[in-house]
């Protein structure tokens, strides 16, 4: 039985909506929180999937953007709840607890940093690109650990979730709604972008840079723009993740997190629209179910990942639809 990818995608999205609604009826608020976590991780991975799946940029440092988004939220909310202003010498900025404002700040910050990291990193390729992005991740990680003003390695606690006009974000299903809508928007963007001239050119640049140059396009520019868009979406996910936990810490910058984002995509299917979503759901479910069975659940996670690489190229989607994913 080979499924058509469109049906599979629709089923996954519906499932993602149905589970929390069912949990709402049966009064299982934690299940909603769990699904929200999967949705946010999926959003981060959708971002990475633009760079990695379409553009072939194996960024081992996407935690930079996840963490930046998180810290943008943490710092703004911290100043808002302590009624202090951020002092930049010549001027100062008040904090805020309004989510959309925080998102705009997070997204802008991530765009700037992605532009800078992209400009420097895209001079390299292959393994060197993997490693230079890792290096940037480590720089941010160590910086965050020693940044005592914002908690250093202890991180920053935000005692109540930030506000969204018209909603009560502390109610799990409402916060889930916000995250789900943003994920849906990101998926729409991914889908349009992948099929638009930009995506087509970027996808070709992953496969053959020489061809793209020969038709008069510059692969480096395509990849840089992809990297920035990618970083922005992952950054937005970081801000949501921080709000889900009401907490930010340097672990959001860790290389393990960068690795996990890659893992999510591979589990689902590289370059596939719903790959990150399926990957995130599978990952969170495994973490939850296996983690409940044994403290040695990492062994089983390892075995599952290994089997995916060895026997299921193309991830879950590849397995179900019988089509391999993008080669990176």
Partner 1 sequence: MKHLLLATAAAVFCAGSALADTKIGMITTLSGGGAGLGIDVRDGFMLAIAQSGRNDVEVVIEDDQRKPDIAVQLADRMIQSERVDIMTGIIWSNLAMAVIPSAVNQNVFYLSPNAGPSQLAGPGCHQNYFNVAWQNDNLHEAAGSYANSADYTNSFILAPNYPAGQDALTGYKRMYEGALAGEVFTQLGQTDYAAEIAQIRASGADSVFFFLPGGMGISFLKQYADSGVDLPVVGPAFSFDQGILQAVGDAALGVVNTSQWNKDIDNPTNAAFVESFSAEYGRLPSLYASQGFDTANLILSALDKASPSDADAFREALRAADFDSTRGDFAFDTNQHPIQDIYAREVIQEGDVFTNKIIGVALEDHSNVYADQCKM
Partner 2 sequence: MSAILIIEQVLNGLQFGVMLFLMAAGLTLIFGVMGLINLAHGSLYMVGAFAAAAVAGVTGSFVLGLIAALIAAACAGAIVEMVVIRRLYKAAHLDQVLATFALILIFSEGTRWVFGSFPLFLDIPDALSGPVTLPGGIQYPLYRLTLIAIGLAVAIGLWALIEKTRIGIQIRAGENDREMIAALGVDISRLYTIIFALGAALAGLAGALVGAIQSVQVGMGEPVLILAFVVIVIGGIGSIRGAFIGALLVGLTDTLGGVFLPELFKLFMDTGAAQKSGSAIASMGIYILMGLVLIWRPTGLFGTRA
Partner 3 sequence: MSDPVLDISNLSKSFGALRATDDVSLTLMPGEIHAIIGPNGAGKSTLIKQICGNLRSDAGRVHLMGRDVSSFSTQARANAGLARTFQISELAMEDSVLENVVLGAIGAEARPWRFWRKALDTPALVERADAALDRVGLQGARDVICANLSHGQRRQLEVAVALTLAPKAFVMDEPMAGLGAEGSKTLTGFLDSLRDEAPILLVEHDMDAVFALADRISVLVYGKIIATGTVDDIRSSAVVRDAYLGEEA
Which residues of this protein are in contact with partner 1, per CB under 8 A? 28-31, 33-34, 37, 142, 145-146, 148, 151-155, 157, 159-160, 172, 241, 245-247, 249, 251-252, 291-298
284 contacts: CB under 8 Å, gap ≥ 6: 34, 35, 37, 38, 41
Contact string 9-28 vs partner 2 (x = CB under 8 A): --------------------
**Could you tell me the smallest distance in angstroms from the CB atom of residue 192 to partner 3?**
5
Distance, CA of 162 to CA of 174 (rounded, Å)? 13
- Give the residue with the Cβ less far from partner 2, 90 or 310: 310
Q: Is the dihedral of CA 258, 259, 265, 269 positive or negative?
A: positive
- Give the residue with the Cβ less far from partner 3, 196 or 289: 196
- Give the residue with the Cβ less far from partner 1, 1 or 293: 293
Binding site partner of 37, from partner 1, partner 2, partner 3, none, Cβ cut-off 5-8 A by kind = partner 1
Q: Using CB under 8 A, which of 225, 286, 290, 301 touches partner 3?
A: 225
**Could you tell me the smallest distance in angstroms from the CB atom of residue 225 to partner 3?**
8
Asked if residue 216 binds partner 3 (CB under 8 A), the reply is: yes
| Inter-residue long-range contacts of 182-190, CB under 8 Å, 24+ positions, other chains counted | 182/43, 182/236, 182/240, 183/39, 183/40, 183/42, 183/43, 183/46, 183/277, 184/13, 186/43, 186/46, 186/47, 186/233, 186/236, 187/46, 187/273, 187/274, 187/277, 189/233, 190/46, 190/49, 190/50, 190/273
Distance, CA of 309 to CA of 306 (rounded, Å)? 5
Binding site partner of 262, from partner 2, partner 1, partner 3, none, Cβ cut-off 5-8 A by kind = partner 2
Q: How do beta strands 85-87 and 92-94 pair?
A: antiparallel
Binding site for partner 2 (CB under 8 A): 52, 58, 60, 120, 123-128, 130-132, 134-136, 138-139, 142-143, 145-148, 255, 259, 262-263, 266, 270, 296-299, 301-306, 308-310, 313, 327-328
């Amino acid at each position: 039985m080979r499924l058509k990818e469109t049906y599979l995608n629709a089923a996954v999205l519906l499932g993602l909506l149905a589970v929390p609604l069912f949990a709402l009826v049966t009064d299982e608020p934690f299940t909603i929180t769990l699904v929200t976590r999967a949705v946010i991780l999926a959003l981060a991975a959708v971002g990475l999937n633009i760079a990695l799946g379409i553009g072939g940029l194996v960024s081992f440092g996407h935690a930079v953007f996840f963490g930046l988004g998180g810290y943008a939220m943490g710092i703004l909310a911290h100043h808002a709840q302590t009624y202090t202003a951020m002092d930049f010498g010549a001027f100062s900025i008040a904090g805020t607890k309004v989510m959309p404002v925080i998102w705009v700040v997070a997204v802008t910050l991530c765009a700037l940093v992605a532009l800078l990291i992209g400009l420097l990193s895209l001079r390299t390729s292959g393994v060197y690109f993997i490693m230079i992005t890792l290096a940037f991740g480590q720089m941010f990680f160590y910086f965050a650990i020693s940044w005592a003003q914002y908690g250093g390695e202890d991180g920053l606690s935000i005692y109540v979730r930030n506000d969204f006009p018209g909603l009560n974000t502390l109610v799990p299903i409402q916060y889930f709604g916000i995250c789900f809508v943003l994920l849906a928007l990101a998926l729409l963007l991914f889908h349009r972008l992948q099929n638009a001239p930009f995506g087509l050119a970027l996808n070709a640049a992953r496969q053959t840079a020489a061809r793209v140059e020969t038709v008069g396009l510059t692969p480096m520019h395509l990849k840089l723009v992809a990297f920035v868009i990618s970083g922005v979406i992952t950054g937005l996910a970081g801000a949501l993740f921080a709000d889900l936990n009401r907490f930010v810490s340097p672990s959001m910058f860790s290389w393990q997190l960068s690795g996990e984002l890659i893992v999510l995509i591979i589990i689902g299917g590289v370059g596939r629209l719903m790959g990150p979503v399926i990957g995130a759901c599978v990952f969170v479910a495994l973490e939850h179910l296996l983690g409940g069975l044994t403290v040695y659940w990492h062994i089983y996670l390892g075995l599952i990942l290994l089997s995916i690489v060895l026997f299921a190229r193309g991830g879950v989607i590849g397995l179900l639809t019988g089509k391999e994913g993008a080669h990176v």
